[in-house]
Amino acid sequence: MPAFTQFHDFIEESPVDIAKLTTFCEHIPDDWVYQATGLSAKATIRRRRLPSDMVLWLVVGMAFFRNEPIAEVARRMNICAEGLADEKLLAKSALTEARKRLGSESMAWLFRQCSNQWGLERYPGDTWHGLQVFAVDGALFRTNDTPELREHFGSGNTSTNRQTPFPMLRLVTLMNVRSHVIVDGDISPYRKGEIPLAKGFMDKLPDNSVTLLDKGFYSAELLLGINKLGDNSHWLIPARKGLKYTLLDKQESNDQLVEMKVSPQARKKNPDLPETWKVRAVTYEVAGKVKTVFTSLPRDKYNAQDVAELYHERWEIELGYRDIKSSMQHNAITLRSKTVDLVYQELWGLVLGYNLVRREASQAAVSHQRAPNEISFKYACQFIASQLKVMAKALSPGNTPKRLAQLRGDLTMLFKENRPRPSRPRAVKISKTRYPINRNAAPLK
């Protein structure tokens, strides 16, 4: 029986009764939550009925219930200091003010505290020739169209001087390719590029690692910097079209050493960069097309075919973004918050929620001697969201390990089947007319 059928049958037939947030609290220690809420710009001494630690969980819960009002999310998760929250406490204005008191720095700090530890965790068979595999890429999100948000975040590029319909912001992350857990990331307005954002967290890469990047991250400073980060740290990136380089090998082959010049502009920004740098160029063929990737992986340790196949794993970070936008956000890429600080807060909560699902799924997979990326994220996310829906009855903290063991046993039905993907040939869409359409015109008779 397919995994999704078993999943929905389980949800409909099995009553769920768990401790409030036990699925998450096992992963995030209370000390981390208290330290995060201590960063709140409006922290107060008195105990509120909507305390910051509960509001923090509310923001994470928003990631799992994108299509529901925030008040309903709070009600589902019983976000209240004592007992069930009343209607006044769950009013939209009260929840908004509580989120403002929490701020975005608390969510950003908690995300990094968790991701820096979870993303570097080791799982059986998670290396490539002894190297941990990571990927860097960016994604765009949009916000509500208000003057404040448009002024801060800016708009996407268009072929004319017109602005895009929505303000845009950029998320760039470093992801563990094998577990799909995000190691670190940064958020900025649209106008800031991906490379400057990536430079801020590349130092999180460990020794004995290889990082996969797309050609948008082609930068001598960035790539050479990865080699200097630690012992045996490498990178892999596709060659750009029209790039000029000098062959250093006497005979041409599919595995060559080449030399390139560092641009004067790059050396002006960073005088420590050399005038030239040497890279390995691996050429291979896919579907009749010849492709070339550059890498710092030495030829005497890693053969060309393995290197070419490794680059295909860069697609895993694209799948991670798909999981965030499709499975968690239900393709609603417009964030719901309407102030600058709350937009940042919501997005940090979204990626933290994503990491929570990924880590729980990874540990469930390992407990059944399977690879972390063999569990379907979509159904694991739905499964965990269903656990958060029933909060009326709390269990004692001592039952948390037992509940998590049961949860991981239930997740076995969510392993993906090893079957070929269906072929979906590209289709040419009908081009849109350049003439305006009168939508009020009478229909033809």
Residues 98 and 185 in one domain: no
Instruction: Say what the pLDDT of residue 332 is.
Output: 85
Residues 309 and 367 in one domain: no
Residues 347 and 206 in one domain: no
Residue 424 lies in a domain: no
Question: What pTM was estimated for this model as a whole?
Answer: 0.82
Residue 256 lies in a domain: yes
Q: Which residues pair with 185 in a beta bridge?
A: 173
Residues 386 and 313 in one domain: no
Would you put residue 23 in left (φ > 0), alpha (ψ -120 to 50) or beta?
alpha
Residue 354 lies in a domain: yes
Domain boundary among the residues 289, 319, 349 is at 319
241 burial type by CB count under 10 A (0-12 exposed, 13-18 middle, 19+ buried): exposed
DSSP 8-state assignment for residue 433: P
List of long-range contacts for 283-287, beta carbons under 8 Å, 24+ apart? 283/254, 283/255, 283/256, 284/254, 284/308
Instruction: Say what the pLDDT of residue 6 is.
Output: 38
Those residues of the chain that have pLDDT short of 50 are: 1-21, 45-46, 83-84, 390-404, 419, 432, 437, 439, 441, 443-445
Is 116 in contact with 156 (CB distance < 8 Å)? Answer: no
Nearest to 115 by CA among 172, 56, 184: 184
Residues 125 and 100 in one domain: no
Residue 427 lies in a domain: no
Domain boundary among the residues 267, 286, 319 is at 319
Residues 243 and 129 in one domain: yes
Instruction: Say what the pLDDT of residue 180 is.
Output: 93
Domain boundary among the residues 285, 319, 353 is at 319
Residue 310 lies in a domain: yes
What is the span of the domain harbouring residue 388? 3-109+341-414
Residues 137 and 159 in one domain: yes
Rg (CA), the chain: 24
Residues 251 and 369 in one domain: no
Residue 75 lies in a domain: yes
Q: Which amino acid is at 157?
A: N
Looking at the structure of the chain, the number of domains it has is: 2
Nearest to 111 by CA among 199, 233, 204: 204
Residues 45 and 175 in one domain: no
Residue 438 lies in a domain: no
Residue 76 lies in a domain: yes
Residues 99 and 15 in one domain: yes
Residues 20 and 100 in one domain: yes
For 58-74, how does the pLDDT look when each residue is reduced to its tens digit (9 = 90+)? 898 899 888 888 888 88
In 3-state terms, the chain is what percent helix, strand and coil (to 5)? 40, 15, 40
Residues 59 and 123 in one domain: no
Nearest to 185 by CA among 320, 294, 53: 320
